[in-house]
């Protein structure tokens, strides 16, 4: 069993491995976990303890469709060079990148690159498809919409999708920016000026045609920020409900550390593996 592991923003493969030390000790010793490095040098990530030494990396330089396409292309290369893999484990930005990548592959009709996914404290995924939500973003730019203002429920100017996009932004990205936890940083002006081509495309189940059709496990910390909980909930919503398992541990924005909670995460992983073995086999 070979599993690709993706670290969070402003972190590294070695740091991520140390964060998952308790989890790695509890899993089947025959499993191989490969911790890949993001391609972009970064400042220290939000919440990254001072005891972690750099250099620090991120998986993307930003979240525009072009920047996300570069990040997914790098992930593609990583899979080609280090794989094949049975599953993927992502923490924070790494989990969101994994979901973005798998959704893109599914939309393209490509064979699933992984049989299962483990998402720990996922942030909100962004799409690399410039056409996705293009009409929504263009309209917001044409209206010079202030994304920091909550849209009225009966606002006749906004469509359902436009209102949903704004509400999700407020609950996640803008809330994170207020806490200084948005990295890489970008200006909200991309949603109110220009043609919207550089505006990040947040992914939400109600804005996507199909949900991800592989077993996924979603683990969050009970003491994490509300906006992080919202991000993780939205990320989980991209996955087929009958193929998901949700766990909550007693900590914050980090993997579970307590013995019982670590064992619960390992059991959930084994559940995902067993579910994947019952599904049609697709290998690259």
By annotation, the residues acting in catalysis are 92, 224, 253
CB 256 within 8 A of CB 244: no
CA–CA distances in Å: residue 201 to residues 71, 138, 144, 191, 275: 14, 11, 17, 10, 31
Q: What residues contact 72, with CB distance under 8 A and at least 6 apart?
A: 97, 100, 101, 104, 128
Q: Tokens 């924005």 correspond to what residue? A: 253
Closest CA to 218 of 203, 204, 209, 228: 228
């Amino acid at each position: 069993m070979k599993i690709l592991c993706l670290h969070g923003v402003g972190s590294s493969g070695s740091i991520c491995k140390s964060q998952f030390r308790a989890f790695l000790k509890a899993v089947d010793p025959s499993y191989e976990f490969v911790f890949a490095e993001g391609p972009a040098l970064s400042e220290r990530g939000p919440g990254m303890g001072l005891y972690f030494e750099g250099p620090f990396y991120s998986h993307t330089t930003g979240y525009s469709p072009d920047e996300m396409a570069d990040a997914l292309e790098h992930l593609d290369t990583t899979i080609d060079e280090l794989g094949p893999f049975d599953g993927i484990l992502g923490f924070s930005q790494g989990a969101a990148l994994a979901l973005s990548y798998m959704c893109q592959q599914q939309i393209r009709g490509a064979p699933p690159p992984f049989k299962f996914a483990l998402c720990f404290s996922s942030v909100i995924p962004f799409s690399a498809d410039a056409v996705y939500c293009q009409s929504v973003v263009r309209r917001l730019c044409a209206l010079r919409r202030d994304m920091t203002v909550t849209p009225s429920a009966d606002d006749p100017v906004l469509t359902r999708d436009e209102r949903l996009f704004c509400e999700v932004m407020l609950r996640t990205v803008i809330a994170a920016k207020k806490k200084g936890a948005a990295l890489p940083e970008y200006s909200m002006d991309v949603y109110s000026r220009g043609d919207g081509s550089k505006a990040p495309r947040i992914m939400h189940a109600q804005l996507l045609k199909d949900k991800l059709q592989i077993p996924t496990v979603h683990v969050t910390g009970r003491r994490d920020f509300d906006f992080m909980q919202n991000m993780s909930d939205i990320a989980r919503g991209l996955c087929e409900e009958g193929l998901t398992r949700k766990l909550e541990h007693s900590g914050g924005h980090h993997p579970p550390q307590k013995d019982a909670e670590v064992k619960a995460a390992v059991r959930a992983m084994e559940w995902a593996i067993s579910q994947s073995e019952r599904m049609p086999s697709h290998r690259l």
